[in-house]
Structure 1
Amino acid sequence: MHVDGCKSVCLMMSLRTPLPTLITLFMSLGVDGTEWSVKYNPTKICALKGSTVFINGSYTYPAELEVKEEFWVKEPFDREQDTPVYCKPTKDSGTVQCYVDKQQKFSLKLINVTKEDDYYFRIKTNVIEQKWLGDPVKISVTELLVNTLLEVIEREAAVLTCTTTCSLTDSPTFIWYKNGRRLSSNTNPLHLRPVSSEDAGSYMCAVRGYEHLPSPAQTLTVRCEFTM
């Protein structure tokens, strides 16, 4: 968490090691004991390129303050001026929507994500020096790719794996297509054993709910084994 001008209690511990380490713990407290905090769910997201992403969360603040503004920023932004503002609850765009309710719960909806970014929730109060910047929510963006041997010998085994550059959030269900037609198997990897000439063809994978965002096609060739 990042805090600007907040009252802090600092606890320092010195560890006796060959290279002494100084550990400092900062905790921001209001006069009534309420802490500043911003909590996200989830804190890290791996999403398909072109998909929709939801970030939910909640915050607390010292009761003697009055919240004046709540909004989202992302890198790069000016931490002193809080510009540019990425999303305000009253100014949704077609691809970015954000909300805050009276119970101090908030959400951010990103439609058609295309690149990796860090997003921060910002709170400003009636005291200029008293404002809070949450830790970043990191969104990684990936595309699907079918990984397999391009050629296998008939009666051997073929393994096709739908791969990503990061682990997709929410444990997705994978879908397979052969020559544009959906297969019954939802397993990943997809095992073909033993392989026959009928298994040759063009394979794609997708994630349930995002069937419109499939992987590029990968062609599997089955070579006949000649015996003398």
Structure 2
Amino acid sequence: MDLRSAARGFLAFLLSVPVLQGNGDWRVTYSSTNVCALRGAMVDINCTYEYHNNVQYRPTTVRTLWFTKGDKYQPVDLLSDSDYTGRVENSCGKVNCTGSRCHGTCTLRIRDLRQSDSAVYKFRFTTNQPSGGYTGDPGVTLSLTDLQVKVSFPDPTDPTWTKLECHSMCGLAGDPPYIWFRNGKKGRQGVNYKGHIPTGENYSCAVEGYERLSSPLVYAPKTPSVTMNPSGEIKEGSSVTLSCSSDANPAANYTWFKVIKGPFSTNLNQGPKLVFKQILTSDSGQYYCLVQTELRQASNWITIHMKYGPKHTSVCSNPSGEIEEGSSVTLSCSSDANPAATYTWFKEHEDSVKETGQNYTITNITSEHEGNYYCQAHNAIGHHDSTFLFIQSNYSFKIHTPPSKSKAPSETFAY
């Protein structure tokens, strides 16, 4: 097939040499046993046929047809096949006879090629002679292809310098002219496109004159969408899935990272999903999804805010150690909690609340203040009691946490 053929409205690629299929005096010769064509274009499949002319039955009448369904005894003529309605024609030349040999030519033309047209096409002719007719087996295999853009980097020292190549699964006959589209507008000609590919631009290629049959667009990944399921409040021990998606062609590769400190991060998972089967409070933090293709990369961020009851509740005093009678001491309580905890102060064996708030200040301290003190941290999810802080009177006051008298922590979490 040459460029003159392309100019008539089709692009086809012959993949093998002509082959003769015959039996004695009856034969069919296809121009090729395999034909590859662009989907959406038009293709011609050609053959010649020969038969023995019995002079007793002159003039001989010949009926020809092409088929993909049925068999040689009950073929379904493509002209009456509903899958090809309005898209096929069978053009045959005049039969020429020399002595007892006759031969003719036929061409099957298929327009607006569809993927479903990929099939084996056979030609059959019949005559009014006693020998009947003949089918050329095994026929012609038609394959459909699309143009594709291959991406490569010819200069390893400059990853922004990109080479785009327009190609199909089979070579185009006659080396027809290619044309490139940049953001939908016609640009350079040639099978290759080389240059710096800016973010936000897209490219495709086509055979000039067949722009409607252009390749799929290639473009750098767009800013990915990151989601968390379930959304909203996340409680410790629950299952959480982070998902990442991006519009990109060529297809993107996904990698999840967690920000550790400052500019540093750790690689957690390859793939569009990051799953925590039983999430821990230590999993709180900022995550980002990196999307990479041959053209470029993009990323987006998401933060996991864990909700959990108070834990690691502790108390301290200021001043610590020995203090003088009549002076003041401030007890402070702290706890790890989200949302932030509120605090209540208690003295052992006393039911009444001594103070509310993170700090509890005792002024003008006397022997009456001797005893064990503790704080309770609480939020909407649960509460947690600190260990005891012991204030001991012996001329001067000592503040410490005696191991033998420490309060056993209690905690309640509403999951």
What TM-score results when the alignment is normalised by the length of structure 1?
0.68
Q: Distance in 2 between matches of 1:105 and 1:84?
A: 20
Q: Distance in 1 between matches of 2:22 and 2:108?
A: 27
Structure with higher Rg: it is 2
Could you report, residue by residue, the CA deviation over 1:93-148 in whole angstroms, capped at 9, with x for unpaired residues?
A: 52111111213121111011112111111011224543211131111001122221
Query: Which amino acid in the other structure matches residue 49 of structure 1?
Result: R
1:37 pairs with 2:27: yes
1:145 pairs with 2:135: no
Query: Which amino acid in the other structure matches residue 35 of structure 2?
Result: I
Q: Distance in 1 between matches of 2:166 and 2:39?
A: 15
Query: Which amino acid in the other structure matches residue 71 of structure 2?
Result: D
Query: Which amino acid in the other structure matches residue 73 of structure 1?
Result: F
Partner of 1:28: 23
Partner of 1:70: 64
Q: Distance in 2 between matches of 1:142 and 1:27?
A: 30
Question: Judging changes above 3 Å, is the alpha-carbon distance between structure 1 residues 27 and 86 closer, same or farther for their aligned structure 2 residues?
Answer: closer
Query: Which amino acid in the other structure matches residue 53 of structure 1?
Result: V
Kept after mapping to 2: 8 A contact 1:46/1:168: no
Kept after mapping to 2: 8 A contact 1:204/1:218: yes
Could you report, residue by residue, the CA deviation over 1:28-87 in whole angstroms, capped at 9, with x for unpaired residues?
A: 33xxxxx3222233442111111111122321111216343211111x313322x32223
Structure 2, gaps ≥5 residues long: 1-20, 96-103, 221-294, 298-415
Partner of 1:218: 218
Kept after mapping to 1: 8 A contact 2:72/2:124: no
Structure number with the higher helix fraction is 2
Return the offset for 1:27. Answer: 6.4
Question: Judging changes above 3 Å, is the alpha-carbon distance between structure 1 residues 170 and 139 closer, same or farther for their aligned structure 2 residues?
Answer: farther
Kept after mapping to 1: 8 A contact 2:22/2:136: no
Q: Distance in 1 between matches of 2:46 and 2:62?
A: 20
RMSD of aligned residue pairs (Cα, Å):
3.1
Classify the secondary structure of the residue corresponding to 1:148. Answer: strand
Matches within 5 A, 1:57-136: 57-64=47-54, 66-74=60-68, 76-81=69-74, 83-87=75-79, 93-103=85-95, 104-115=104-115, 116-127=118-129, 129-135=131-137, 136=139
Q: Distance in 2 between matches of 1:77 and 1:86?
A: 11
Classify the secondary structure of the residue corresponding to 1:87. Answer: helix
Kept after mapping to 2: 8 A contact 1:176/1:183: yes
Q: Distance in 2 between matches of 1:169 and 1:109?
A: 18
Classify the secondary structure of the residue corresponding to 1:212. Answer: helix
Kept after mapping to 2: 8 A contact 1:45/1:168: no
Query: Which amino acid in the other structure matches residue 39 of structure 2?
Result: K
Q: Distance in 1 between matches of 2:197 and 2:151?
A: 16
Query: Which amino acid in the other structure matches residue 94 of structure 1?
Result: G
Partner of 2:206: 206
Kept after mapping to 1: 8 A contact 2:161/2:197: no
Structure number with the higher strand fraction is 2
Return the offset for 1:209. Answer: 3.0
Q: Among the aligned pairs, what percent are the same residue?
A: 28
Return the offset for 1:161. Answer: 1.6
Classify the secondary structure of the residue corresponding to 2:211. Answer: coil
Question: Judging changes above 3 Å, is the alpha-carbon distance between structure 1 residues 87 and 170 closer, same or farther for their aligned structure 2 residues?
Answer: farther
Kept after mapping to 2: 8 A contact 1:40/1:56: yes
Structure 1, gaps ≥5 residues long: 1-25, 30-34, 224-228
What TM-score results when the alignment is normalised by the length of structure 2?
0.39
Question: Judging changes above 3 Å, is the alpha-carbon distance between structure 1 residues 57 and 170 closer, same or farther for their aligned structure 2 residues?
Answer: farther
Partner of 1:191: 194
Aligned length: 183
Q: Distance in 2 between matches of 1:154 and 1:178?
A: 22
Q: Distance in 2 between matches of 1:114 and 1:46?
A: 12
